[in-house]
Structure 1
Amino acid sequence: MSRAAMNAPKLKRRVGKYELGRTIGEGTFAKVRFAKNTETGEHVAIKILGKEKVLKHKLVEQIKREISTMKLVKHPNVVRLHEVMGSKTKIFIVLEFVTGGELFDKIVNNGRMREDEARRYFHQLINAVDFCHSRGVYHRDLKPENLLLDTYGNLKVSDFGLSALSQQVRGDGLLHTTCGTPNYVAPEVLNDRGYDGATADLWSCGVILFILLAGYLPFDDSNLVRLYEKISNAEFSCPSWFSSGATRLIKRILDPNPLTRITISGILEDGWFRKGYKRPVFDEREDKNVDDVAAAFKDMEDHHVTEKREEQPVAMNAFELISMSKGLNLENLFDIEQEIKRETRFTSKCPASEIISKIEEAAKPLGFDIQKKNYKMSLENSTAGRKGNLNVATEIFQMAPSVHMVEVRKAKGDTLEFQKFYNSLSTSLKDVVWKSEEDMQGHAF
């Protein structure tokens, strides 16, 4: 890299007043980026949606209504939605940045929970779900990735009001869906006969409570057809260490018939649940203005937020570097099948352009199609694995003038296949790697 290039001003990517950092989550419909409010210095998470995908699913009015509702509320167990912005092609949803990792990481690290600890988290989960349901907003996709912990160890449910993106409303007026992770999903959702958001959310809450107490899934099978049968018939058994009260409540929640399944009001009256329960006290409404939500969806330039893109690798500040350590990682590290990392990092003293060329050279013989944009790459395997095509995202960050950090992350596909791919990649990149993630954690964290 020339001296002139080294001294050129670094243009980081901005969206309005927010400076965007690394990607901290990725899904079918959205990407989540770490960001900083340049006016206040506050750290936030920004969910970025393609407008075309939102419009294509004919759910704009429902999504606008649900996002508007979520913007008006501030509940201690729900991730705060600060504001919504739109550009010509994207919707940007600015969310509270939750720093305590995922609830399920506690199970991966420590095993199943004691009953009183599990009950405390279940209290917080039901409080969040009850509050949002009372305002006509349903989650419809409660799963481990959506259960986060704040600095004080309190549960925060994310993505309320946003999961409508993966749903469709048909002529019968009911919701229909296709889901990637069926283990947490109610039988009526899997059978695709249309379903009520409230009862479906409660089933997922029951699965979550079972995992907290047992340390494993109530419904699991490597054969997908058999797994669907188990869920549809509610074929599960509670382990011997469950108390009779916990067993009774879980059986009432995991009732395959949504019409006889226990309701939230029934849960609030349940003897096991009521032990130590306190209703949350909080200021219910703060922001009464939802003009930004309507403006974000308008296709008019005067309503659009300005986007500026970086021309060099994003420089990483200390907070972002620390946020990559396990205690603050927002991404899902809980894999039911194997405790294998879904992302890894290394540092390099090579120029960014050389790192990209070397990754490209290493990935092509392994059968990957490569897309490049700035200092990011998307590698997709043309051969589908057992969980579809493996898709790997890489991004380069500048840590110092001559030091870069490279993040290699599984975006889609099987974690085992990702591990195999990374082992092959790291062998090819041995001349590029300066320090591995293990070395970095051993010295820096």
Structure 2
Amino acid sequence: MGTHGGGSGGRTRVGRYELGRTLGEGTFAKVKFARNVQTGENVAIKILDKEKVLKHKMIAQIKREISTMKLIRHPNVIRMYEVMASKTKIYIVMELVTGGELFDKIASRGRLKEDDARKYFQQLINAVDYCHSRGVYHRDLKPENLLLDANGTLKVSDFGLSALSKQVREDGLLHTTCGTPNYVAPEVINNKGYDGAKADLWSCGVILFVLMAGYLPFEDSNLMSLYKKIYKADFTCPSWFSTSAKKLIKKILDPNPSTRITIAEVISNEWFKKGYQPPRFETADVNLDDVNSIFNETGDPAQLVVERREERPAVMNAFELISTSQGLNLGTLFEKQTDSVKRETRFASRLPAKEILSKIEAAAGPMGFNVQKRNYKLKLQGENPGRKGQLAIATEVFEVTPSLYMVEIRKSNGDTLEFHNFYHSISNGLKDVMWKPEGGIPEADEIRHRRSP
């Protein structure tokens, strides 16, 4: 990779990394694309708000989990490279994975063939088993945490950061802040104190079911009825599951953790073993100085990094642009897929950046959103509580060339389906803003022809 766009404006530098677009955000953290300016390597950086972390008395736990995560090197677990801190933020530098979410495959195909589902399940179990052997539990395994790299290998994210998805309430107990309990083991919902390994395996069982069925084993619009189904493990396998797969899933989705199958037993199960390849990986010396220094009470200012930025829309380099698209087919880059509900969507525009944002603001206003503006970003916050909390939307404008902008609209909170409806309504108001390439993008067809045999 050349060092493209190094000096151009609109970029934030943190240490030796240049920050790019936001890849996702949650309660405690947001994840941004970044580039190591010295090596040209692309990474993802998770940015935590120090104040929130301190407020929740999670420092010891996070320090422990980050240290453990640095020691973990496994082909199916996202690598953590280093940790930095500024006055207000903690930066966790991680491996960037560009193949999208595993569940996007289901969204486009309905469900996976049993052999394919088994292949991903084997990789998931490998990752989970390895982390457990190092004393790290995930506690929040769900589809968003299952990513694919460019070769289609499964990578589990957010291992060891379970402290961030937990909140310590006034009663001093850990409570899971799960938006949907669909993947969560009954004993976790029950808050009875639980075995992390058993709970993680339950989530793996639900994931396996969804991969093969194309829908969730436990579904109910009423939360209490949903809990009841989970407590009783009240589910039915579809007819197309093989008998041995049904048997295994029944053993994993056992509501009683003490009789539930163990991971070791899963690995020796006949259905699981078919075509199984044990993981190959290296162990290496890892240095924990950076982790210790950012949690250093004396807070030596020499250790801190500074965020520096300039005022203008962030410029998007070619690699980032391509990495936002599935594969290298640039044609799909600015088209929204209608069949699957994505948590982000994007379009191109020829209008000046400021004008794009005021048009989005104007379109969102009447739909009952509060709008906050900063730099070339908008935050839209829904006023009425939706199915999974208020719908919140983040919008950002990127400069692709001086006269072409890419606009990304991303759900940062709330229900994906609600977001989809919002996008449909707002896109009607933005027809004059969106730019459609005439007759597709010639280079994209060029690439496609070269790739097809």
TM-score where L is the length of structure 1? 0.90
Structure 2 equivalent of residue 132 of structure 1: 131
Give me the whole-angstrom Cα distance separating, in 2, the residues matched to 1:173 and 1:258.
24
Match for 2:354: what amino acid? Answer: S
**Residues 440 and 53 of structure 1: is their aligned pair in 2 closer, same or farther, counting only changes over 3 Å?**
farther
Q: Once the 2 structures are TM-superposed, how far is the Cα of residue 170 of structure 1 from its aligned partner? A: 8.4
Q: Once the 2 structures are TM-superposed, how far is the Cα of residue 293 of structure 1 from its aligned partner? A: 1.2
Give me the whole-angstrom Cα distance separating, in 2, the residues matched to 1:209 and 1:433.
39
Give me the whole-angstrom Cα distance separating, in 2, the residues matched to 1:414 and 1:135.
35
Is residue 387–residue 413 contact of structure 1 (8 Å, CA) maintained in 2?
yes
Deviations 1:82-101 (A, max 9, x none): 11111111111111111212
**Residues 423 and 41 of structure 1: is their aligned pair in 2 closer, same or farther, counting only changes over 3 Å?**
same
Q: Mark the runs of 5 or more structure 2 residues left unpaired by the alignment.
A: 1-6, 330-338, 446-453
Structure 2 equivalent of residue 22 of structure 1: 21
Structure 1 equivalent of residue 79 of structure 2: 80
Q: Secondary structure at the match of 2:391?
A: strand
Structure 2 equivalent of residue 5 of structure 1: none
**Residues 324 and 278 of structure 1: is their aligned pair in 2 closer, same or farther, counting only changes over 3 Å?**
closer
Is residue 108–residue 340 contact of structure 2 (8 Å, CA) maintained in 1?
no
Q: Once the 2 structures are TM-superposed, how far is the Cα of residue 281 of structure 1 from its aligned partner? A: 2.1
Match for 2:323: what amino acid? Answer: S
TM-score where L is the length of structure 2? 0.88
Alignment of 1:19-418 (within 5 A): 19-168=18-167, 175-284=174-283, 286-298=284-296, 299-327=299-327, 339-418=340-419
Give me the whole-angstrom Cα distance separating, in 2, the residues matched to 1:357 and 1:228.
44
Give me the whole-angstrom Cα distance separating, in 2, the residues matched to 1:18 and 1:38.
6
Deviations 1:49-97 (A, max 9, x none): 1111111222211111111111122111101111111111111111111
**Residues 315 and 237 of structure 1: is their aligned pair in 2 closer, same or farther, counting only changes over 3 Å?**
same
Give me the whole-angstrom Cα distance separating, in 1, the residues matched to 2:368 and 2:167.
35
Is residue 176–residue 194 contact of structure 1 (8 Å, CA) maintained in 2?
no
Q: Secondary structure at the match of 1:406?
A: strand
Q: Mark the runs of 5 or more structure 1 residues left unpaired by the alignment.
A: 1-7, 330-337
Task: Identify the structure with bigger relative contact order (alpha carbons < 8 Å, sequence gap 6+).
Answer: 1
Is residue 57–residue 165 contact of structure 1 (8 Å, CA) maintained in 2?
no
**Residues 213 and 365 of structure 1: is their aligned pair in 2 closer, same or farther, counting only changes over 3 Å?**
closer
**Residues 13 and 201 of structure 1: is their aligned pair in 2 closer, same or farther, counting only changes over 3 Å?**
same
Is residue 167–residue 177 contact of structure 2 (8 Å, CA) maintained in 1?
no
**Residues 9 and 141 of structure 1: is their aligned pair in 2 closer, same or farther, counting only changes over 3 Å?**
closer
Give me the whole-angstrom Cα distance separating, in 1, the residues matched to 2:118 and 2:407.
40
Give me the whole-angstrom Cα distance separating, in 2, the residues matched to 1:173 and 1:279.
41
Deviations 1:194-244 (A, max 9, x none): 222111101001111111222221111122211111111100111222222
Match for 2:396: what amino acid? Answer: E
Q: Secondary structure at the match of 1:176?
A: strand
Deviates more, 1:262-271 or 1:22-31: 262-271
Is residue 107–residue 341 contact of structure 2 (8 Å, CA) maintained in 1?
no
* TM superposition outliers: structure 1 runs of 4+ over 4 Å: 168-175, 438-445
Give me the whole-angstrom Cα distance separating, in 1, the residues matched to 2:42 and 2:104.
22
Give me the whole-angstrom Cα distance separating, in 2, the residues matched to 1:25 and 1:193.
31
Structure 2 equivalent of residue 335 of structure 1: none
Q: Once the 2 structures are TM-superposed, how far is the Cα of residue 40 of structure 1 from its aligned partner? A: 0.6
Match for 2:245: what amino acid? Answer: A
Give me the whole-angstrom Cα distance separating, in 2, the residues matched to 1:396 and 1:305.
26
Structure 1 equivalent of residue 450 of structure 2: none
C-alpha RMSD over aligned residues: 2.4
Identity of aligned pairs, percent? 67
Give me the whole-angstrom Cα distance separating, in 1, the residues matched to 2:406 and 2:170.
50
Structure 2 equivalent of residue 425 of structure 1: 426
Give me the whole-angstrom Cα distance separating, in 1, the residues matched to 2:305 and 2:36.
14
Q: Secondary structure at the match of 2:434?
A: coil
Q: Secondary structure at the match of 2:203?
A: helix
Q: Secondary structure at the match of 1:383?
A: coil
**Residues 230 and 442 of structure 1: is their aligned pair in 2 closer, same or farther, counting only changes over 3 Å?**
farther
Is residue 174–residue 194 contact of structure 1 (8 Å, CA) maintained in 2?
no
Give me the whole-angstrom Cα distance separating, in 2, the residues matched to 1:313 and 1:147.
31
Give me the whole-angstrom Cα distance separating, in 2, the residues matched to 1:80 and 1:343.
24
Give me the whole-angstrom Cα distance separating, in 1, the residues matched to 2:8 and 2:212.
53
Give me the whole-angstrom Cα distance separating, in 1, the residues matched to 2:432 and 2:246.
56
Q: Secondary structure at the match of 2:118?
A: helix
Is residue 10–residue 313 contact of structure 2 (8 Å, CA) maintained in 1?
no
